[in-house]
Amino acid sequence: MNQLHPGEFCDVEGAIRAATDAILAQQKPDGHWVYELEADATIPAEYVLLVHYLAEAPNLELERKIGVYLRRIQGAHGGWPLYHDGAFDISATVKAYFALKMIGDDIDAPHMARARAAIHERGGAIKANVFTRILLALYGECSWNDVPTVPPELILLPRWFPIHLSKMSYWARTVIVPLLVLCARQPLARNPRAVHVPELFVPGVPAASPRAPHQSAGWSAFFNALDKVLKVVPWPRGVRARAIEKCRVWTTARLNGEDGLGAIYPAMANSVMMYDLLGYPPDHPDRAIARLSVEKLLVVKEDEAYCQPCVSPVWDTALVAHALMETKDEQAMPAEALAGAGWGGRLGRGKARRAARRLGLPVSQRPLSRSGRHRRGGDGDGPGGRVARRQGHRAGPRMGRRTAKP
């Protein structure tokens, strides 16, 4: 891209018009926008390891492309960050290293040696976060004693209890519930290639620090003591079986079709592993749809590939609609921008018309239905009329397409 120099003429209005045209051309038929959502190395790395955990036949070309992607985003510090050009993150680095070794990278290759040295400098893989240590335990790389105990009986606690699922965010609940089953049963990855990463551990180094920087000394001591108790207390078999069954039922009720449990990768992957652990065959409808939801997150390009943490039609539509409103371009407003806003947030009861008026844009005086159409066959000059005529159906689909019930 050509850089502008001080004093050089820049046609800002022309650039805005070109950008507006480009954005409008990318709008989906039902009114929304969605773009790639690239995160960090952890999700594509976990995708590779999930395939081998389940002993599925790997797509070698896909693995090759994911390997290209992981090597490209490695940081100058030798590891992998949580965001572009960010600081070293030991958990992301452990997962990326493990995935690359699983793909077939030589551990003595320069990029692998640099990553391993960076991990050793920070105490080894055992210093990774809890979710990474759970993954390592699933592969037999570390002991389950190095992982905090999270009993599935948590799901049986009453709502008044200080620790309850209802007190967690929705995405956290969807990640944790199937994970409770995995932590209780403690399965071992099939790992047909028998790839392990003992070289990432430093002998004699204990698990994560006794107290995280954000924790108070009192709460840290309490939960450390509680964890020690939970590790030795035997749970009644009947209670454990009832808790696991409730986790299964809870998860199944919220699978959310091919859009996935919680609409986020960790929850989807955990549900697949839970069903596998409970004996569901790959073609069982619940396991199959959960597995398909993971595949839909892949972004495969000509020479590299990665897995998204989720898809972002609501975020992207809201951001695009906001940008189009700021242009005050009659071509973009009110039809396209308000159609997108109506798709994501259901503009109703005149909100769309009021937004257009604030921007000085023409609107119809007829009231809008909640779908964004004009009621009783409007003349098509307002926010919903042109969209309905262009699309041939309601301007906004149901909002809950990617959101399961809490």
Residue 353 has which token pair?
């018309």
| Contacts made by residues 358-364, CB under 8 angstroms, sequence distance 24+ | 359/325, 359/328, 359/333, 360/328, 361/328, 361/330, 361/333, 361/334, 362/330, 362/334, 363/334
For the stretch 138-171, pLDDT in tens is: 999 999 999 999 999 999 999 999 889 999 999 9
CA distance linking residue 320 with residue 337, whole number of Å: 7
pTM, full prediction: 0.80
Contact 89, 80 (CB under 8 A): yes
| Nearest residue to 328 (alpha-carbon basis) of 363, 373, 358 | 358
Average pLDDT on 54-71 reads 98
pLDDT band at 36 (very low <50, low <70, confident <90, very high): very high
CA distance linking residue 369 with residue 386, whole number of Å: 14
Contact 281, 247 (CB under 8 A): no
pLDDT, residue 79, reads 98
| Nearest residue to 265 (alpha-carbon basis) of 313, 318, 306 | 306
- Of 13-17, 195-199, 399-403, highest mean pLDDT: 195-199
Beta strand ranges found along 275-342 (DSSP E): 298-300, 305-307
Q: Which CATH code is given to the segment(s) 42-307?
A: 1.50.10.20
Contact 297, 310 (CB under 8 A): yes
The DSSP code for 124 is: B
Q: Is 11 left (phi over 0), alpha (psi -120 to 50) or beta?
A: beta
Residue 100 has which token pair?
């690359």
For the stretch 317-351, pLDDT in tens is: 889 888 888 887 776 665 555 565 555 554 443 55
pLDDT, residue 129, reads 94
* Per-residue CA distances from 382 to 101, 330, 342, 346 (Å): 57, 11, 13, 16
Say how many CA atoms lie within 13 Å of 389 toward its Cβ: 12
Domain extents for the chain? 20-35+312-397, 42-307
